[in-house]
A and B are shown apart, each in its own frame.
Chain A
Amino acid sequence: MMDLAPYLLLAGLEGLVMASVLMLTALGLSLVFGVMRVVNVAHGEFYMLGAVGAWACAQFVPGHPALAFCVALVVAPLLVGVLAYLADWAILKRINYDPEGTIVSTIGMLYIIQQLTLMSFGPDARAVDAPFYYTIRTPWFGYSSYKLFTVVMALVLVAGLWVMLKRSKWGLVMRATQFDRETAQNFGIPVNRVYSIVFAIGAMLAAIGGVLVVPNQQAHYLMGGDPLLLSFVVVIVGGLGSIPGTIAAAILIGMSDGLLSVFFSPTAAKIFSTLLVAFVLVFKPEGLFGRSNRV
């Protein structure tokens, strides 16, 4: 068996990769909950659509895989964003963002997106070429350099989102809506439009996660389940709607999942994290990080 140090190094790397993709998808979920106070159960399907979109781009864009990858990174999230915008307009707006109704409706969306993908994309898993191949060799094991690239990409995107939320006018509008919907409306903020756009941005973050992950894994119509579950875990452990809490929780959950599933069975790791969510909600609903956030 491998010595402990390289073993931990590998587990740490895997955890880091996972944490970074998770950070993106969970931030999407968290943003939607934070501003709109609704839970989007179809979030994992937007992630899946991102991956399938990347596959589609790889089919249509000729030349080097890196080119298709760059196109996918822009086109797939945009299309997913448009879809989410439409879903918000066609469904969520009409039930007036009733929290329970939204969960039921987004479960419906989950099935529709999944099954439409099955009908069009098919039931097979499909591989997408990575933009580059280079395996980093250590004395004990090799590691895909692309995986490390996803960590960098995720960090850049999260930093960008952070700046947008804190510095831009749009960020201010969103925060105002989050803070107090009615006052925001009185100040002339088009709350309904903000909701649609936030829902779209949340979906786009998930889709970007899907695009980043698909050269490592493969696009498959059922791939949305795990990221949904883990995003839930992260958002709840981090405190519903709290962005810094979400980031901290993503790192914690990503790293501990990497470590736990190296030392125990991955199923045991999942049992641990689902029970963690349940008990956090029962006993410490404001999350493990940060103060209460008005649930």
Chain B
Amino acid sequence: MTLHNGKLLALCVVTVIVLFGLQFVLPPYLTLALTRILILSVFAMGYNMLMGYTGLLSLGHAMFFAAGLYAAGLSTYYWGVTLPVAFVLGIVGAFAVSLVIGLLALRTQAVSFMIVTLMFAQAGYLMTLQFTNITGGDQGLTLPTDARSFGLFGMVVDMTSDTARFNLALLIFTVVLAVLFAITQGPLGRLFVAVRENEPRTQMLGFDTYAIKLTAFTVSGTISGTAGALYGLMFGYIGSSFAGFQNSIEALLYTLIGGPGTLLGPLLGTAVMTMLIDRLSGITTAYLIVIGVLLIVVNLWFPKGILGTIRDRWLGWLK
């Protein structure tokens, strides 16, 4: 197998090494913030798979994030399964949900697709409220103490330790990055892009575009759910606000800012937005206004995002 796009691979490796090194220089709060950024950027990377590479704009990815979060969190909360098993269950749950929703939603296109994903996600959010006696609804559930650590290969990993959390998040991030590199830089990724650029032509060339889109949709939803499962287990709290509209919009925004259709864009976008919101929340209560302003500004003058613009101008391999 030949290696495509060695420059991008090198950049990814350097990024991971730098991220690893950051924990030794950053103050504790920023390490914690970076942990959260890594997990949320996995979410955004999943979103980018669909929106950036395949050109399908979903407004309901919180549904997949929440599917992973609840499948993982509830199974450890009620059945007491160990965290690694719960994590796998979370991924399986997100896979199942994204496959079913994908089968339905992909019958529609463009604006209808956006509304359908929005409505399914809204129904999912409302269900977390409807079944409060299971999900804890608005209040959510806090995972019990024995679900805050796990043993693996004789090692005990403590979820309340900042170092353990950071490195675990980085590990999952790296794995997802590697998987996405393989997908996007390989033949499957070219098919995704072909659908984005010209679906009828791809169809005419003999490809089953519905199947291609369904693959992209399921991969995208499963990765988003992986982020959800990780988030829930790592921070020990699951609640319905993760399933809300705003969470879907944040994934969209992270991707738009960083650069849709670039591998590292979501990481950059998530980092910029998370820190911006965290800083602003100390200054004004209306900090969500920045989301609104950026959505409009980026859409108007900056539709390729940060890395997308750099790619178009200077570094063509940055995709």
Residues in A lying within 8 Å of B, measured CB to CB: 39, 91, 94-95, 99-101, 103-105, 107-116, 118-119, 123, 229, 232, 236, 265, 267-268, 270-271, 274-275, 277-279, 281-283, 285, 295
Q: Whose C-beta in chain B lies nearest to the C-beta of A38? A: B111
Contact A108 B112 (CB under 8 A): no
- Would A107 and B249 count as touching, CB distance under 8 A? yes
> Would B105 and A119 count as touching, CB distance under 8 A?
no
Could you say which residues of chain B place their CB within 8 Å of the CB of A105?
295-296, 299-300
- Whether the Cβ atoms of A111 and B288 lie closer than 8 Å is yes
Chain A neighbourhood of B295, CB < 8 A? 104-105, 107-108, 111
Contacts of A101 in B (CB 8 A): 299, 303
Q: B residues near A, CB below 8 A? A: 57, 59, 104-105, 107-108, 110-112, 114-116, 119-120, 122-123, 126-127, 129-130, 249, 252, 256, 284-289, 291-296, 299-300, 303
Cα separation A108 to B285 with both chains bound (whole Å)? 17
* A271:B299 contact, CB within 8 angstroms: no
Report yes or no: B286 in contact with A118, Cβ–Cβ below 8 A: yes
Are the CB atoms of A100 and B292 closer together than 8 Å? Answer: no
B129 and A267 within 8 A (CB): yes
State A232–B121 Cα separation when bound (angstroms).
14
User: Are the C-beta atoms of B300 and A103 separated by less than 8 Å?
Assistant: no
- Interchain CB contact under 8 A, B130 and A115: no
Q: Which residues of B contact A107 (CB under 8 A)?
A: 249, 292, 295
Q: Which residues of A contact B286 (CB under 8 A)?
A: 115-116, 118-119
Q: How far is the CA of A107 from the CA of B59 in the complex (A)?
A: 10
Distance between A236 CB and nearest chain B CB, rounded to angstroms: 7
Given contacts A267-B126, A274-B126, contact A91 B110 (CB under 8 A): no
Contact A271 B296, beta carbon cutoff 8 Å: no
B residues less than 8 Å from A94 (CB atoms): 300
A residues in contact with B300, CB < 8 Å: 91, 94-95, 105
> B319 to nearest A CB, angstroms?
21
- Indicate if the CB atoms of A100 and B114 lie closer than 8 Å: yes
Taken together as a complex, chains A and B put the C-alpha atoms of A64 and B243 apart, in Å, by 45
13 residue pairs of the A-B complex, CB under 8 angstroms, read A99-B110, A108-B292, A108-B299, A109-B292, A112-B296, A119-B289, A277-B115, A278-B105, A278-B119, A278-B123, A281-B115, A281-B116, A282-B105
Residue from the list B108, B123, B296, B303 in contact with A275, Cβ < 8 A: B123
Q: What residues on B are CB-neighbors of A267 within 8 Å?
A: 126, 129-130
Closest 10 CB pairs of A and B: A111-B292, A108-B295, A115-B289, A112-B292, A108-B296, A115-B286, A278-B119, A274-B123, A108-B292, A119-B286
Whether the Cβ atoms of B114 and A265 lie closer than 8 Å is no
Contacts A111-B295, A119-B289, A274-B122 known; list 19 others, CB within 8 Å.
A39-B114, A94-B300, A100-B114, A103-B57, A103-B114, A105-B296, A112-B292, A112-B293, A112-B296, A114-B288, A115-B287, A119-B284, A119-B286, A232-B119, A268-B130, A271-B127, A278-B105, A281-B115, A285-B112
CA distance A114 to B287 in the complex (A): 11
Q: How far is the CB of B135 from chain A (nearest CB, A)?
A: 12
The docked-state distance in angstroms from the alpha carbon of A103 to that of B116 is 13
How far, in angstroms, from A274 to B63 measured CA to CA in the complex? 14
Tell me whether A265 and B292 are in contact (CB under 8 A): no
**What residue in chain A is nearest B292 (Cβ atoms)?**
A111
Assembled-state Cα–Cα distance A244/B303 (Å) = 37
Chain A residues within an 8 Å CB radius of B294: 108
Complex formed: what's the CA distance from A119 to B126 in Å?
Answer: 28
Taking a contact as CB atoms under 8 Å apart, the answer to whether B293 and A99 are in contact is: no
